[in-house]
Each structure stands twice: as structure tokens, then as C-alpha cells.
Chains A and B, each alone.
Chain A
Amino acid sequence: GQNIDQPTEMTATEGAIVQINCTYQTSGFNGLFWYQQHAGEAPTFLSYNVLDGLEEKGRFSSFLSRSKGYSYLLLKELQMKDSASYLCAVGPLNNAGNMLTFGGGTRLMVKP
């Protein structure tokens, strides 16, 4: 099975940088995905990591350490619209499909 832990809530200030951590235990590796979900809306894909290291995508970056079972999502130059839940997910990456197990999500509140 898979076990995924991430903080329930975080608060940050507009313009600042915030790091959302995710730790996981899995029975086999996997890719690690980050999704953003605004209240009342569907989750949308942000990033994924397959190999160790940092993947940068505009204001968002995601880091993975497979040996430590650890990932983080880094959000820079925070904007009010970044207030949302951020979901960490892991899943097998093979040609059978991309069945993801999601963490409980981290609700980020960005304050002026």
C-alpha cells in the first residue's frame, strides 16, 4: 500500500515563498505528482517528478528524493490566487496506467 503525509494547513504572505512538504511510503516506485485544487473545483495538474532533483516550472518547483521518500512543492512570489489545496500523489508509472494515491492535501491560505 501507500501512505502519504502532508501538513493540513499553511499560511503565507503575498509575495513570499512557501514550501509544502510531502513524505510517502510506497511498496514500489512510482512517480510523484502535485495537484492544485481551488475550493469547489476539480484538481488540476501542477508538476511531476520521476527522478531525484528539482523540476522548475515558472513560479512553482517540485523536488523529489526517492531514497528519503520525500518531496516538496515550492511556490515563489505568492499571489492571492494561490490560495488553494495542494495535493501530493504517488502512483506506479508503467504502461498499465497511472493509478494515483492522493495525500489529504495541504490547504494554503495566502494573506495580503
Chain B
Amino acid sequence: DARVTQTPRHKVTEMGQEVTMRCQPILGHNTVFWYRQTMMQGLELLAYFRNRAPLDDSGMPKDRFSAEMPDATLATLKIQPSEPRDSAVYFCASGFPYGGSNTGELFFGEGSRLTVL
């Protein structure tokens, strides 16, 4: 049963600490996304990769956030330094672009719940 895997599932840290979240997309998917979800803002797109190349990270605060795909099986989202306002659930999603038999649907991981004290 193919699924997107995210670690850690939960993270509590103190303000100023570095946080790294990891994602293993579904094997073969060539688009990978990082979303952040809060009660106030809903699901916000942070970063987007296609074939491991970053295509859009306009939603990501550049001064403290960075997203990379060191290889096709791993995507990372790093926050340094973390702040209390970064507390949220961070979702990774993967999929195929729309076209042919592909609907363009995204498959989401279970999320990483981050609490910054």
C-alpha cells in the first residue's frame, strides 16, 4: 500500500531551535509539495518540487525556512531558528502532474505536528 511517509509525527521544541522534517514521497511520483496547516490560515503551500527541482517556494519565509530534495526518495523542510508562530501541522504531498490518465490528485502524508514553545 503506497503512501507518503513523514517524520517526525510530533515535535515539541523551544524557540530558536532548528527543526528538520522529512518526507518520503510515493515511489515514482515526480511532484512533491510541502503544505502548512493552521486553524487560522488553513492549508498553505510552502514549497513545490518537480523532478526534484524547486519550482515554487514563494509561500515560504525565506529567512528561516528551507526546502530541499537531496534525492527522489527524500524531501526535507528545515526551520532555523524556529519561532512559536511556526507551530502548525506540516504536510508533505506527492503526485503526478495532470495529464493522460493522471487526475493530478495529491497524496498527503500524515503530517508532522510542530509545537514551538
Tell me the bound Cα distance from A42 to B97 in angstroms.
Answer: 20
Determine chain B's interface SS by DSSP, over half rule: strand
User: Contact check: which of B42, B91, B95, B103 meets A105 at CB < 8 Å?
Assistant: B42
Residue of A nearest to B91 (CB): A42
Report how many residues on chain B are interfacial, defined by Cβ distance under 8 Å. 26
- The reply to whether A43 and B108 contact each other, CB–CB distance below 8 Å, is yes
Instruction: For A41, list chain B residues within 8 Å (CB).
Output: 110
Closest chain-B Cβ to A71's Cβ sits at a distance in Å of: 15
**Would you give the 0/1 interface string for B6-47, flagging 1 where the beta carbon is closer than 8 Å to chain A?**
000000000000000000000000010101000000111100
- The reply to whether B106 and A95 contact each other, CB–CB distance below 8 Å, is no
Instruction: For B109, list chain A residues within 8 Å (CB).
Output: 42
Question: Chain B: residues with CB nearer than 8 A to chain A?
Answer: 31, 33, 35, 42-45, 48, 50, 55-56, 91, 95-99, 103-111
Question: Chain A: residues with CB nearer than 8 A to chain B?
Answer: 31, 33, 41-45, 48, 87, 91, 93-105
